[in-house]
Amino acid sequence: MNEVLEQKINTDYKYGFVTDIDADNAPKGLNENIIRFISAKKNEPEWMLAYRLKAFRHWLTMEEPDWAHIHYKKPDFQDIIYYSAPKPKKVLNSLDEVDPELLKTFEKLGISVKEQERLSGVESRVAIDVIVDSVSVKTTFKETLAEKGIIFCSLGEAIQEHPALVRKYMSSVVPSSDNFFAALNSAVFTDGSFCYIPKGVRCPMELSTYFRIEAAGTGQFERTLIIAEEDSHVSYLEGCTAPMRDENQLHAAVVELVAHKNAQIKYSTVQNWYQGDKEGKGGVFNFVTKRGICLEENAKISWTQVETGSAITWKYPSVILKGDKSVGEFYSVAVTNNYQQADTGTKMIHIGKDTKSTIISKGVSAGFSNNSYRGLVRISKGADNARNFSQCDSLLMGDQCGAHTFPYIEIKNNTAIVEHEATTSKIGEDQLFYCKQRGIDNEKAISLIVNGYCKDVLSQLPMEFAVEAQKLLEVSLEGSVG
């Protein structure tokens, strides 16, 4: 009797569709049908669809937040396409099937998608999950990693192959009701990376995901979940690019990190979404919720980010220091030029005993841009002997740009030691002339000075990407002198 009923219900759901399931793109707009369309496209189990719908219904009750130090025309959420598959189709068996344009993009970024490639003569392999327009295109080194019990695949695949793990951890760090964009993401996320490191395993290579937004008018809603079991280590890198377009594109991702006892997760991001043209037209809206939890004793989570792109960057990679002796770190370089705006920072929530957090934030503003650091250090009542060190520096290039700092410190335990330092500086004429008098021209001098300024953060990046990040800084500040 139950079976028949279930079948009936399932059939009813199917009839609910208005759209053609074989289409590659969902039509514009957001409603329950679109969500069912996305879930069906991905062949998801019941519980996943239920999760999405719950999040969507909650999202409908929420209001878009307004408190950031940024000005933008609010996106029309009904004017966005929430699902778009790139051509050719999803599952690719060899690199030959990948769009050569895409391969060229990665080459330009200096990242090798070919497994055999060597980096400067040393055999250095980076496992890469390639995600284009919300769909995972290829994941390299999967088999090699699988030998160690490491799971590195797209989230979509993980939902199929490892549902128990996904159900256990997804939303455990960022509940779908957490904020407006997290709720939206929970409803319409299409893909992202899933990473699971079993107990005692040190992941032998960098894991990396490259995100690229190809299609116009689409929103990118990735969801990444990384789980590090007891005594495990993993270093993960996320890179992002998007082609230049006149209209704004929305990127609202959610990243969750879970670190068990003695585990270490290092998460690095080099973000270069299209930042809009010199007049501030177009560009990606990068609204991201990233959070890690040091679940148990002695766990460690480090966030390192180099943000140079996006018209608007709005994100606060945070760490919840639940386990005793756990450690949270946040290293950030945020560059804004022309009309870009950034409101970024971190939240370090100290809950366990003897916890430690370090925040080093370097903002560089040029042109007519605005760059804000917003940080929270919260020491809860039971967080005995907590330690925090924060350093927020701003570098202004020119006199039309802005740099702002909004540090929040909430301490409910009087054994805490919290240090906060902030500096604001300008690239002085004298410094530039000093360089010139040694034969170094303006552009190069600025690059030298800015790189020196960001050294503490850049040195946290995995070696393979430190060079790229430096080049990116140079490019982002091109023409900022004058």
Which spans of this chain sit near other proteins (rule: CB under 8 A)? 428, 430-431, 433-442, 444, 448-449, 451-455
CB atoms inside a 10 Å sphere around CB 69 = 16
* Nearest to other proteins of 380, 447 (CB atom): 447
| Least separation in angstroms between CB 438 and other proteins | 4
* Nearest to other proteins of 177, 431 (CB atom): 431
| Selection from 115, 192, 118 nearest residue 153 by Cα | 192
* Nearest to other proteins of 14, 436 (CB atom): 436
Q: In whole angstroms, give the CA distance from residue 378 to residue 387.
A: 11
φ/ψ of residue 262, rounded to 5: 60, 5
Provide the β-strand partners of residue 285.
Answer: 250, 312
* Nearest to other proteins of 14, 455 (CB atom): 455
Q: Where are the beta strands (DSSP E) in 243-326?
A: 248-251, 254-259, 264-272, 283-294, 300-307, 312-315, 318-321
* Nearest to other proteins of 43, 459 (CB atom): 459
Retrieve residue 236's tokens. Answer: 């993960």
- Residue 46 · residue 65 · CB < 8 Å: no
* Nearest to other proteins of 65, 428 (CB atom): 428
First vs last Cα of the chain: how many Å apart? 77
| Least separation in angstroms between CB 467 and other proteins | 14
* Nearest to other proteins of 241, 460 (CB atom): 460
**409, 296, 208, 40: CA torsion to nearest 10:** -100
* Nearest to other proteins of 4, 439 (CB atom): 439
DSSP, collapsed to helix, strand or coil, labels residue 50 as helix
| Least separation in angstroms between CB 119 and other proteins | 19
| Least separation in angstroms between CB 394 and other proteins | 14
- Residue 36: enclosing H or E segment and its boundaries? helix 32-41
* Nearest to other proteins of 7, 423 (CB atom): 423
Q: Give the CA distances from residue 336 to residues 188, 229, 245, 261, in Å, rounded to whole numbers and listed in that order.
A: 29, 37, 18, 38
| Least separation in angstroms between CB 334 and other proteins | 17
Retrieve residue 454's tokens. Answer: 């960001």
Give residue 141's region: left, alpha or beta (phi > 0; psi -120 to 50): left
| Selection from 157, 108, 104 nearest residue 129 by Cα | 157
- Residue 130 · residue 210 · CB < 8 Å: yes
| Least separation in angstroms between CB 185 and other proteins | 37
Q: What is the largest distance, in Å, between two alpha-carbon atoms of the chain?
A: 88
* Nearest to other proteins of 46, 441 (CB atom): 441
| Least separation in angstroms between CB 427 and other proteins | 9
* Nearest to other proteins of 343, 393 (CB atom): 393
- Residue 398 · residue 482 · CB < 8 Å: yes
| Least separation in angstroms between CB 436 and other proteins | 4
For the chain, give the number of residues. Answer: 482
Q: Give the CA distances from residue 432 to residues 375, 395, 443, in Å, rounded to whole numbers and listed in that order.
A: 32, 14, 9
Q: In whole angstroms, give the CA distance from residue 310 to residue 342.
A: 9
| Least separation in angstroms between CB 444 and other proteins | 7
| Least separation in angstroms between CB 475 and other proteins | 17
| Least separation in angstroms between CB 425 and other proteins | 9
* Nearest to other proteins of 47, 433 (CB atom): 433
Retrieve residue 19's tokens. Answer: 């759209």
Retrieve residue 277's tokens. Answer: 């043209």
- Tokens 């490191």 correspond to 197
Compute and round to an integer the Cα radius of gyration of the chain.
Answer: 22
| Least separation in angstroms between CB 176 and other proteins | 42
